[in-house]
Structure 1
Amino acid sequence: MIVWVSLLWILESIDRVSGGALDTFGIQPRDASELRDVIPAAFTHFGFEHLAANTLPLLVLGFLAAALSGTRRFLGVVLMITLASGLGVWLVAPDNSNTAGASGVVFGLFGYLLVRGFVDRRITDVLIGVVVAVLYGSILWGVLPTNQMVSWQGHLFGLLGGVAAAFYFSDRKGRGRPPAPAA
Protein backbone atom coordinates (compact mmCIF):
# COMPACT_ATOMS: atom_id res chain seq x y z
CA MET A 1 0.00 0.00 0.00
CA ILE A 2 2.86 2.36 0.72
CA VAL A 3 4.25 1.73 -2.77
CA TRP A 4 0.83 2.33 -4.34
CA VAL A 5 0.19 5.54 -2.41
CA SER A 6 3.75 6.70 -3.16
CA LEU A 7 3.04 6.16 -6.86
CA LEU A 8 -0.09 8.33 -6.54
CA TRP A 9 1.98 11.13 -4.97
CA ILE A 10 4.65 10.82 -7.68
CA LEU A 11 1.98 10.99 -10.37
CA GLU A 12 0.40 14.07 -8.78
CA SER A 13 3.86 15.70 -8.58
CA ILE A 14 4.33 15.01 -12.30
CA ASP A 15 0.86 16.41 -12.94
CA ARG A 16 1.70 19.59 -11.01
CA VAL A 17 5.03 20.10 -12.79
CA SER A 18 3.39 19.46 -16.19
CA GLY A 19 0.62 21.98 -15.58
CA GLY A 20 -2.14 19.39 -15.15
CA ALA A 21 -1.27 17.22 -18.15
CA LEU A 22 -2.41 14.05 -16.34
CA ASP A 23 -5.86 15.50 -15.66
CA THR A 24 -6.77 14.35 -19.17
CA PHE A 25 -6.88 10.81 -17.73
CA GLY A 26 -10.06 11.68 -15.86
CA ILE A 27 -13.31 10.17 -17.10
CA GLN A 28 -15.57 12.26 -19.30
CA PRO A 29 -18.95 10.52 -19.40
CA ARG A 30 -20.53 8.73 -22.33
CA ASP A 31 -17.67 9.35 -24.75
CA ALA A 32 -16.55 5.94 -26.03
CA SER A 33 -12.93 7.07 -26.30
CA GLU A 34 -12.97 7.82 -22.56
CA LEU A 35 -13.46 4.16 -21.64
CA ARG A 36 -9.68 3.81 -21.88
CA ASP A 37 -9.42 6.19 -18.89
CA VAL A 38 -11.57 4.11 -16.52
CA ILE A 39 -8.51 2.58 -14.82
CA PRO A 40 -6.00 5.47 -15.09
CA ALA A 41 -8.57 7.86 -13.57
CA ALA A 42 -8.20 6.06 -10.23
CA PHE A 43 -4.49 6.98 -10.23
CA THR A 44 -4.82 10.68 -11.04
CA HIS A 45 -6.05 13.47 -8.80
CA PHE A 46 -6.96 17.12 -9.19
CA GLY A 47 -4.35 18.53 -6.81
CA PHE A 48 -2.53 17.56 -3.64
CA GLU A 49 -5.52 18.35 -1.42
CA HIS A 50 -7.61 15.88 -3.39
CA LEU A 51 -4.90 13.23 -3.09
CA ALA A 52 -4.32 13.95 0.61
CA ALA A 53 -8.02 13.37 1.32
CA ASN A 54 -7.74 9.88 -0.20
CA THR A 55 -4.32 8.91 1.19
CA LEU A 56 -5.04 7.86 4.79
CA PRO A 57 -8.27 5.94 4.09
CA LEU A 58 -6.61 4.25 1.11
CA LEU A 59 -3.65 3.21 3.26
CA VAL A 60 -5.78 1.93 6.15
CA LEU A 61 -8.54 0.22 4.19
CA GLY A 62 -6.14 -1.07 1.55
CA PHE A 63 -3.80 -2.52 4.15
CA LEU A 64 -6.69 -4.26 5.93
CA ALA A 65 -8.13 -5.65 2.70
CA ALA A 66 -4.72 -6.85 1.49
CA ALA A 67 -3.84 -8.40 4.86
CA LEU A 68 -7.16 -10.24 5.07
CA SER A 69 -7.35 -11.29 1.42
CA GLY A 70 -3.81 -11.87 0.25
CA THR A 71 -2.15 -10.01 -2.59
CA ARG A 72 -3.73 -11.83 -5.54
CA ARG A 73 -7.27 -11.55 -4.27
CA PHE A 74 -6.66 -7.97 -3.17
CA LEU A 75 -5.55 -7.02 -6.69
CA GLY A 76 -8.69 -8.66 -8.11
CA VAL A 77 -10.86 -6.82 -5.60
CA VAL A 78 -9.25 -3.47 -6.46
CA LEU A 79 -9.59 -4.11 -10.19
CA MET A 80 -13.28 -4.96 -9.79
CA ILE A 81 -13.86 -1.85 -7.68
CA THR A 82 -11.95 0.38 -10.10
CA LEU A 83 -13.93 -0.93 -13.07
CA ALA A 84 -17.28 -0.59 -11.26
CA SER A 85 -16.52 2.94 -10.08
CA GLY A 86 -15.12 4.10 -13.41
CA LEU A 87 -17.86 2.56 -15.53
CA GLY A 88 -20.50 3.96 -13.17
CA VAL A 89 -19.01 7.43 -13.57
CA TRP A 90 -18.84 6.98 -17.33
CA LEU A 91 -22.53 6.00 -17.43
CA VAL A 92 -24.16 8.50 -15.06
CA ALA A 93 -21.87 11.46 -14.33
CA PRO A 94 -23.08 14.82 -15.64
CA ASP A 95 -22.17 15.95 -19.16
CA ASN A 96 -19.01 18.03 -19.46
CA SER A 97 -17.57 16.68 -16.20
CA ASN A 98 -14.14 15.19 -15.66
CA THR A 99 -13.80 12.68 -12.82
CA ALA A 100 -10.60 11.29 -11.36
CA GLY A 101 -9.22 10.10 -8.03
CA ALA A 102 -8.91 7.07 -5.80
CA SER A 103 -12.00 7.82 -3.73
CA GLY A 104 -14.06 5.26 -5.68
CA VAL A 105 -11.48 2.67 -4.61
CA VAL A 106 -11.67 3.93 -1.01
CA PHE A 107 -15.46 3.53 -0.99
CA GLY A 108 -15.10 0.11 -2.63
CA LEU A 109 -12.61 -1.13 -0.05
CA PHE A 110 -14.94 0.17 2.66
CA GLY A 111 -17.85 -1.81 1.16
CA TYR A 112 -15.68 -4.90 0.69
CA LEU A 113 -14.46 -4.89 4.29
CA LEU A 114 -17.95 -4.15 5.60
CA VAL A 115 -19.58 -7.10 3.84
CA ARG A 116 -16.84 -9.72 3.45
CA GLY A 117 -17.13 -11.16 6.97
CA PHE A 118 -20.87 -11.74 6.58
CA VAL A 119 -20.41 -13.33 3.16
CA ASP A 120 -17.62 -15.64 4.34
CA ARG A 121 -19.32 -16.19 7.72
CA ARG A 122 -16.20 -15.44 9.75
CA ILE A 123 -16.77 -13.69 13.05
CA THR A 124 -13.30 -12.11 13.07
CA ASP A 125 -13.95 -10.50 9.68
CA VAL A 126 -17.43 -9.39 10.80
CA LEU A 127 -15.81 -7.67 13.78
CA ILE A 128 -13.26 -6.00 11.50
CA GLY A 129 -16.16 -4.83 9.34
CA VAL A 130 -17.86 -3.37 12.42
CA VAL A 131 -14.67 -1.51 13.39
CA VAL A 132 -14.34 -0.21 9.82
CA ALA A 133 -17.99 0.93 9.95
CA VAL A 134 -17.41 2.78 13.22
CA LEU A 135 -14.19 4.44 12.00
CA TYR A 136 -15.22 5.24 8.43
CA GLY A 137 -19.02 4.94 8.36
CA SER A 138 -19.46 8.67 7.94
CA ILE A 139 -18.05 8.42 4.41
CA LEU A 140 -21.40 6.97 3.37
CA TRP A 141 -22.64 10.56 3.08
CA GLY A 142 -20.33 10.75 0.05
CA VAL A 143 -22.66 8.54 -2.00
CA LEU A 144 -25.32 11.24 -1.89
CA PRO A 145 -25.44 14.03 -4.49
CA THR A 146 -24.78 16.85 -2.01
CA ASN A 147 -21.79 18.58 -3.66
CA GLN A 148 -21.43 19.18 -7.39
CA MET A 149 -17.63 19.15 -7.05
CA VAL A 150 -17.57 15.63 -5.60
CA SER A 151 -18.29 12.54 -7.68
CA TRP A 152 -20.98 10.80 -5.70
CA GLN A 153 -21.29 8.54 -8.76
CA GLY A 154 -17.72 7.28 -8.33
CA HIS A 155 -18.31 6.80 -4.61
CA LEU A 156 -21.60 4.95 -5.06
CA PHE A 157 -20.41 2.64 -7.82
CA GLY A 158 -17.13 2.06 -5.99
CA LEU A 159 -19.09 1.02 -2.89
CA LEU A 160 -21.28 -1.29 -4.97
CA GLY A 161 -18.17 -2.71 -6.66
CA GLY A 162 -16.66 -3.47 -3.25
CA VAL A 163 -19.81 -5.26 -2.10
CA ALA A 164 -19.89 -7.24 -5.36
CA ALA A 165 -16.20 -8.11 -4.90
CA ALA A 166 -16.95 -9.49 -1.42
CA PHE A 167 -19.36 -11.94 -3.02
CA TYR A 168 -17.31 -12.69 -6.13
CA PHE A 169 -14.07 -13.33 -4.22
CA SER A 170 -15.78 -15.10 -1.33
CA ASP A 171 -14.13 -18.08 0.33
CA ARG A 172 -17.60 -19.65 0.37
CA LYS A 173 -18.09 -19.35 -3.39
CA GLY A 174 -18.90 -22.78 -4.70
CA ARG A 175 -19.66 -24.26 -1.28
CA GLY A 176 -23.04 -25.83 -0.86
CA ARG A 177 -23.26 -26.85 -4.48
CA PRO A 178 -23.52 -30.52 -5.25
CA PRO A 179 -20.29 -32.05 -6.56
CA ALA A 180 -19.97 -32.38 -10.31
CA PRO A 181 -20.70 -35.88 -11.56
CA ALA A 182 -17.66 -38.05 -12.18
CA ALA A 183 -16.93 -38.81 -15.80
Structure 2
Amino acid sequence: MNAPLNQAFSPVQADESRPVDVSLHHEVSQFYFREARLQNGRQPRLWLESMVDPDVHYWLPILEDRFAKDQRPAPTPDEPAVYNDSYQDLDNRIARLETGLVWMEDPPSRVRFLVTNIEAYQTTQDDLIATYCNVHVYRNRRQREEANHFYGREDVLRRGPDGRLRLFRRKIVLDQRVVLDKNLYVFL
Protein backbone atom coordinates (compact mmCIF):
# COMPACT_ATOMS: atom_id res chain seq x y z
CA MET A 1 0.00 0.00 0.00
CA ASN A 2 2.22 2.75 -1.20
CA ALA A 3 0.30 5.99 -0.93
CA PRO A 4 1.70 9.32 -2.07
CA LEU A 5 3.67 10.83 0.75
CA ASN A 6 1.87 13.58 2.63
CA GLN A 7 3.30 16.88 1.41
CA ALA A 8 3.54 18.11 5.00
CA PHE A 9 6.00 15.34 5.90
CA SER A 10 9.26 16.52 7.34
CA PRO A 11 11.68 14.57 9.51
CA VAL A 12 11.60 15.37 13.22
CA GLN A 13 14.80 14.98 15.20
CA ALA A 14 14.88 13.87 18.81
CA ASP A 15 17.11 15.92 21.06
CA GLU A 16 18.58 13.04 23.07
CA SER A 17 20.17 15.50 25.46
CA ARG A 18 16.63 16.52 26.51
CA PRO A 19 14.60 13.51 27.68
CA VAL A 20 11.05 14.31 28.70
CA ASP A 21 10.26 14.62 32.41
CA VAL A 22 8.92 11.68 34.43
CA SER A 23 5.30 12.84 34.21
CA LEU A 24 5.38 13.12 30.40
CA HIS A 25 7.27 9.82 30.10
CA HIS A 26 4.48 8.18 32.10
CA GLU A 27 1.90 9.70 29.73
CA VAL A 28 3.86 8.40 26.70
CA SER A 29 4.09 4.93 28.26
CA GLN A 30 0.36 4.91 28.95
CA PHE A 31 -0.25 5.91 25.32
CA TYR A 32 1.67 2.83 24.13
CA PHE A 33 0.05 0.51 26.65
CA ARG A 34 -3.44 1.67 25.57
CA GLU A 35 -2.48 1.28 21.92
CA ALA A 36 -1.36 -2.31 22.61
CA ARG A 37 -4.59 -3.05 24.48
CA LEU A 38 -6.71 -1.79 21.58
CA GLN A 39 -4.72 -3.87 19.10
CA ASN A 40 -4.90 -6.94 21.35
CA GLY A 41 -8.66 -6.45 21.54
CA ARG A 42 -9.05 -6.06 17.76
CA GLN A 43 -10.28 -2.48 18.00
CA PRO A 44 -8.45 -0.80 15.10
CA ARG A 45 -11.25 1.71 14.43
CA LEU A 46 -11.08 3.04 18.00
CA TRP A 47 -7.26 3.12 17.73
CA LEU A 48 -7.43 5.15 14.52
CA GLU A 49 -10.05 7.61 15.67
CA SER A 50 -8.78 8.19 19.20
CA MET A 51 -5.00 7.76 18.93
CA VAL A 52 -3.90 8.67 15.39
CA ASP A 53 -3.34 12.21 14.13
CA PRO A 54 -5.15 13.11 10.87
CA ASP A 55 -1.74 14.05 9.36
CA VAL A 56 -0.12 10.71 10.26
CA HIS A 57 2.62 9.11 8.20
CA TYR A 58 2.79 5.37 8.93
CA TRP A 59 5.87 3.83 7.32
CA LEU A 60 7.41 0.36 7.12
CA PRO A 61 10.42 0.72 4.82
CA ILE A 62 11.97 -2.17 2.96
CA LEU A 63 15.41 -2.71 4.48
CA GLU A 64 18.30 -4.49 2.81
CA ASP A 65 20.99 -6.62 4.40
CA ARG A 66 24.21 -4.89 3.34
CA PHE A 67 27.88 -5.49 3.83
CA ALA A 68 29.58 -3.05 6.21
CA LYS A 69 31.44 -1.35 3.35
CA ASP A 70 28.18 -0.64 1.47
CA GLN A 71 27.57 2.99 2.40
CA ARG A 72 24.39 3.66 0.42
CA PRO A 73 21.94 5.85 2.33
CA ALA A 74 19.03 4.42 4.31
CA PRO A 75 15.66 4.25 2.53
CA THR A 76 13.47 7.33 2.39
CA PRO A 77 9.66 7.61 2.31
CA ASP A 78 9.90 8.30 -1.44
CA GLU A 79 11.10 4.74 -2.11
CA PRO A 80 9.03 1.52 -2.21
CA ALA A 81 7.83 0.36 1.20
CA VAL A 82 5.61 -2.28 2.76
CA TYR A 83 3.51 0.51 4.30
CA ASN A 84 3.73 4.16 3.35
CA ASP A 85 0.33 5.17 4.62
CA SER A 86 -1.66 8.27 5.36
CA TYR A 87 -4.69 8.47 7.65
CA GLN A 88 -6.94 7.69 4.68
CA ASP A 89 -4.90 4.57 3.83
CA LEU A 90 -5.20 3.31 7.41
CA ASP A 91 -8.92 4.07 7.37
CA ASN A 92 -9.31 2.10 4.11
CA ARG A 93 -7.50 -0.93 5.56
CA ILE A 94 -9.72 -0.86 8.65
CA ALA A 95 -12.85 -0.46 6.51
CA ARG A 96 -11.81 -3.55 4.54
CA LEU A 97 -11.37 -5.50 7.79
CA GLU A 98 -14.83 -4.36 8.91
CA THR A 99 -16.45 -5.91 5.80
CA GLY A 100 -15.74 -9.39 7.18
CA LEU A 101 -14.35 -10.39 3.76
CA VAL A 102 -10.68 -10.55 4.74
CA TRP A 103 -10.43 -14.36 4.68
CA MET A 104 -7.01 -14.36 6.38
CA GLU A 105 -8.71 -12.82 9.40
CA ASP A 106 -11.79 -15.06 9.54
CA PRO A 107 -11.67 -16.36 12.19
CA PRO A 108 -9.64 -13.46 13.56
CA SER A 109 -6.07 -13.93 14.69
CA ARG A 110 -5.31 -13.74 18.36
CA VAL A 111 -2.57 -11.19 18.89
CA ARG A 112 -0.55 -9.96 21.84
CA PHE A 113 1.47 -6.75 21.63
CA LEU A 114 4.29 -6.27 24.14
CA VAL A 115 5.88 -2.81 24.21
CA THR A 116 9.22 -2.26 25.97
CA ASN A 117 12.22 0.04 26.24
CA ILE A 118 10.23 3.24 25.81
CA GLU A 119 12.33 6.37 25.40
CA ALA A 120 10.90 9.86 24.90
CA TYR A 121 12.70 13.07 23.97
CA GLN A 122 11.93 16.71 23.37
CA THR A 123 12.20 18.05 19.82
CA THR A 124 12.71 21.51 18.40
CA GLN A 125 8.90 21.79 18.14
CA ASP A 126 7.14 22.09 21.49
CA ASP A 127 4.07 20.11 20.43
CA LEU A 128 6.08 17.08 19.18
CA ILE A 129 7.68 14.29 21.21
CA ALA A 130 10.13 11.87 19.60
CA THR A 131 9.92 8.33 20.95
CA TYR A 132 11.61 4.97 20.50
CA CYS A 133 10.37 1.62 21.69
CA ASN A 134 10.69 -2.10 21.01
CA VAL A 135 7.70 -4.28 20.23
CA HIS A 136 7.01 -8.00 20.13
CA VAL A 137 3.80 -9.12 18.44
CA TYR A 138 2.75 -12.73 18.90
CA ARG A 139 0.08 -13.77 16.42
CA ASN A 140 -1.82 -17.08 16.54
CA ARG A 141 -4.47 -18.28 14.14
CA ARG A 142 -6.28 -21.58 13.94
CA GLN A 143 -4.49 -24.41 15.70
CA ARG A 144 -0.91 -24.19 14.50
CA GLU A 145 -0.38 -20.91 12.71
CA GLU A 146 1.98 -18.80 14.79
CA ALA A 147 4.08 -15.77 14.00
CA ASN A 148 6.39 -13.61 16.08
CA HIS A 149 7.38 -10.15 14.97
CA PHE A 150 10.13 -8.23 16.73
CA TYR A 151 10.70 -4.66 15.70
CA GLY A 152 11.55 -1.15 16.75
CA ARG A 153 9.41 1.92 16.40
CA GLU A 154 10.66 5.43 15.80
CA ASP A 155 7.60 7.55 16.46
CA VAL A 156 6.64 11.17 16.81
CA LEU A 157 3.66 11.94 19.01
CA ARG A 158 1.69 15.17 18.82
CA ARG A 159 -0.91 16.62 21.16
CA GLY A 160 -4.35 16.65 19.60
CA PRO A 161 -6.93 19.40 20.06
CA ASP A 162 -8.40 17.35 22.93
CA GLY A 163 -5.04 17.54 24.77
CA ARG A 164 -4.31 13.82 24.29
CA LEU A 165 -1.24 12.44 22.59
CA ARG A 166 -1.72 11.14 19.06
CA LEU A 167 0.50 9.21 16.67
CA PHE A 168 1.90 11.70 14.13
CA ARG A 169 4.79 9.74 12.54
CA ARG A 170 5.68 6.05 12.77
CA LYS A 171 8.68 4.32 11.25
CA ILE A 172 8.64 0.55 11.82
CA VAL A 173 11.99 -1.25 11.68
CA LEU A 174 11.39 -5.00 11.47
CA ASP A 175 14.21 -7.25 12.62
CA GLN A 176 13.41 -9.76 9.87
CA ARG A 177 14.70 -9.21 6.35
CA VAL A 178 12.00 -11.53 4.97
CA VAL A 179 8.66 -11.67 6.77
CA LEU A 180 7.71 -15.32 7.20
CA ASP A 181 4.13 -14.59 8.29
CA LYS A 182 1.32 -15.33 5.82
CA ASN A 183 0.06 -11.77 6.12
CA LEU A 184 0.70 -8.53 7.95
CA TYR A 185 -2.91 -7.64 8.62
CA VAL A 186 -2.05 -6.15 11.99
CA PHE A 187 -1.20 -2.55 12.67
CA LEU A 188 2.40 -2.68 13.80
Return the TM-score normalized by structure 1. 0.27
Between Structure 1 and Structure 2, which shows a larger proportion of helix residues?
Answer: 1
